[in-house]
A and B are shown apart, each in its own frame.
Chain A
Amino acid sequence: MSKHDMTRRDFLKRSAIAGCGALVASQLDFARGLIARVEAGELTQFEAYELMKAENTLYTVCLNCNTGCGIKVKIMDGVAVKVDGSPYNPFTLHPHLDMKEDLQRAAKVDGGICPKGQAGHQGAYDPYRITKVLKRAGKRGENKWQSVPFDQAIGEIVNGGVLFSNVPGEEKRQVSGLKELYALKDVKVFEEMGKDVAALRKKKTPEEKAKAVAEFKVKHAANLDKLIDPDHPDFGPKNNQFVYWWGRKKGGRSDFSKRFYDVFGTVNTHGHTTVCQGSLYFACKAMSEQYVGDTFKDGQKFYWQADQENSEYILFVGANLFDGNYGPPNRTPRMTQRMVDGKLKVTVLDPRFTKLASKADRWVPVKPGSDAAFAMGMTRWILENKRYNAPYLAAANKAAAAANKDTTWSNGSWLVKIDDHGKPGTFLRAHEIGLKEKESRKDKDAKEFNFEYLVAMKDGKPVAFDPNDDKNAVTGELFVTTELKDKDGKPVKVKSSLQIMLETAQDKTIAQYAEICGIEAAVIEEVAKEFTSYGKKACVDVHRGPAQHTNGFYNISSLMNLNLLLGNFDWKGGMIVASTFNTDGTKSDKQPFNLAKLKPKGGKQFGLSVIRHDAKYEESTLFKGKESYPAKRNWWPLSSDVYEEILPSMADAYPYGAKVVFSYMGAPSYSLPAGQTQIEALMNLENIPLYFASDITIGSTTMYADYIFPDLHYLERWEMQGSHPNMPVKVQPVRQPVIPSPNEVVTVFGEAQPISYETVWLALAEKMGLAGFGKDGFEKGQDLTRPDDFYIRMVANIATDGKEPVPDASDAEVEIFLKSRRHLPKNVFDPERWQAIAGPNWKKVVYLLNRGGRFDTQEASYKGDHVANKWGKQINLYQEKTAKCKDAFTGKSYHGMARYIPIADTLDREPVEQSKGYDLHLITQRDVRMTKSRTISNQYLTESMPENGIIINTIDAKQLGLKSGDQVKVLSSTNPEGAYNLQNGKKKPMIGKVQVTETIRPGVITFTLGHGHWSTGAEDVTVDGKVIKGDKRRSTGIHANAAMWIDPHLKNTCMIDKVGGSVSFYDTKVKLVKV
Chain B
Amino acid sequence: MHHEDILVTMQKDLERALQKPADKRRWAMLIDLRKCVGCHACTIACISENKLPPAMKYRPVLEFEQGTYPKVSRTFLPKPCMQCDKPPCVDACPVKGEDGATWKETKGIGAGIVPVNYDKCIGCKKCIPACPYDSRTIDNGTFHTEGTPELQKYETVPSFEYGKLWPRTSDVPTQGNARKCHFCIHRLANGMLPQCITTCIGRAGYFGDENDPQSLIAQVKKVNKLQILKANKGTGPRVYYVSNDKLEVLYV
Interface residue ranges, A against B (CB under 8 Å): 1, 3-4, 7-9, 11-12, 15-17, 19-20, 23-24, 26-28, 30-35, 46-52, 76-77, 79-85, 93-97, 108-115, 117-119, 121-122, 125, 127-128, 309-310, 322-323, 328-329, 332-333, 336-337, 339-340, 353, 355-356, 358-359, 363, 365, 858, 928-929, 939-941, 943-944, 953-955, 997-1002, 1017, 1028-1029, 1031
Contact = CB atoms under 8 A, between A and B. Distances in A.
Given A27-B162, A85-B199, A998-B69, 5 more contacts: A23-B165, A93-B8, A95-B5, A110-B193, A127-B151
Contact of B202 (A46, A333, A940): A333
Contact of B154 (A34, A47, A80, A323): A80
A679 B148 CA distance: 27
B200 A49 contact: no
B201 interface: yes
Nearest to B161: A27
Contacts of A954: 68-69
B126 interface: no
B109 A4 contact: no
A225 B40 CA distance: 60
Interface string B2-23: 1111011001000000100000
Contacts, number: 276
Interface stretch (B78-86, B112-120, B226-234): B112-120
Nearest to B168: A12
A322 B37 contact: yes
Contacts of A939: 54, 144-145
B37 A113 contact: no
A119 to B, nearest CB: 6
B107 A32 contact: yes
B37 A328 contact: yes
Given A79-B153, A118-B48, A999-B69, A8 B201 contact: no
Chain B contact surface mostly: loop
B108 A3 contact: no
Nearest to B54: A943
B95 interface: no
A998 B72 contact: yes
Interface stretch (B129-137, B183-191, B207-215): B183-191
Contacts of A83: 48
A999 B190 CA distance: 43
6 contacts: A20-B165, A20-B169, A95-B2, A112-B198, A353-B70, A944-B43
Contacts of A96: 5
A17 B173 CA distance: 14
B77 to A, nearest CB: 13
Given A49-B160, A108-B191, A332 B167 contact: no
Given A32-B108, A52-B190, A113-B199, A127 B171 contact: no
Nearest to B153: A15
Contact of B8 (A24, A84, A109): A109
Contacts of B5: 93-96, 111, 333
A34 B8 contact: no
A329 B45 CA distance: 14
Interface string B50-82: 000011000000000101111011111000000
Given A109-B8, A110-B198, A112-B198, A1 B163 contact: no
Which interface residue of B32, B49, B73, B170 has the most chain A CB atoms within 10 A?
B170
B124 interface: no
A428 B55 CA distance: 68
Contacts of B142: 1
A20 B166 CA distance: 8
Contacts of B105: 31
A114 B61 CA distance: 14
Contact of A12 (B74, B149, B156): B156
Contacts of B192: 49, 52, 108, 110
A50 B149 contact: no
Contacts of B193: 110
Nearest to A12: B170
A22 to B, nearest CB: 8
A8 B151 CA distance: 7
B83 to A, nearest CB: 13
Contact of B43 (A19, A52, A115, A359): A115
Given A81-B154, A125-B152, A114 B119 contact: no
A169 to B, nearest CB: 31
Given A19-B165, A27-B163, A363-B70, A32 B39 contact: no
A333 B108 contact: no
B20 to A, nearest CB: 12
7 tightest A-B contacts by CB?
Answer: A30-B163, A32-B108, A127-B148, A939-B144, A110-B198, A336-B35, A358-B74
A329 B200 CA distance: 8
Contacts of A27: 115, 117-119, 162-164
Contacts of B147: 1, 1031
B119 to A, nearest CB: 7
Nearest to A53: B190
A84 B37 contact: no
Given A12-B156, A31-B185, A128-B148, A332 B67 contact: no
Nearest to A365: B70
A75 to B, nearest CB: 10
A31 B200 contact: no
Contacts of B40: 115, 928-929, 944
B157 interface: yes
Contacts of B146: 1, 8
B38 interface: yes
A401 to B, nearest CB: 27
B163 A336 contact: no
B204 A30 contact: no
Given A3-B141, A17-B167, A998-B72, A31 B152 contact: no
B190 A940 contact: no
B175 interface: yes
A94 B75 CA distance: 25
B247 interface: no
B198 A944 contact: no
A111 B198 contact: yes
Contact of A109 (B11, B48, B67): B11
Contacts of A940: 44, 47-48, 144
B11 A20 contact: no
Nearest to A928: B39
A780 B200 CA distance: 51
A82 B43 contact: no
B237 interface: no
B223 to A, nearest CB: 11
Contacts of A1: 142, 146-147
B25 interface: no
B38 A355 contact: yes
A340 B156 contact: no
A8 B189 CA distance: 34
Contacts of A16: 169
Nearest to A999: B72
A329 B115 contact: no
B88 interface: no
B158 interface: yes
B221 to A, nearest CB: 15
Nearest to A119: B44
Contact of B45 (A80, A84, A340, A355): A84
A748 to B, nearest CB: 28
Contacts of B190: 34-35, 48-49, 52, 108
Contacts of A3: 141, 170-172, 175
B125 interface: no
Contact of B165 (A4, A47, A115, A1001): A47
Given A84-B199, A939-B54, A8 B170 contact: yes
Given A80-B154, A95-B4, A110 B195 contact: yes
B41 A112 contact: yes
Contacts of A337: 35, 203
Contact of B44 (A11, A19, A941): A941
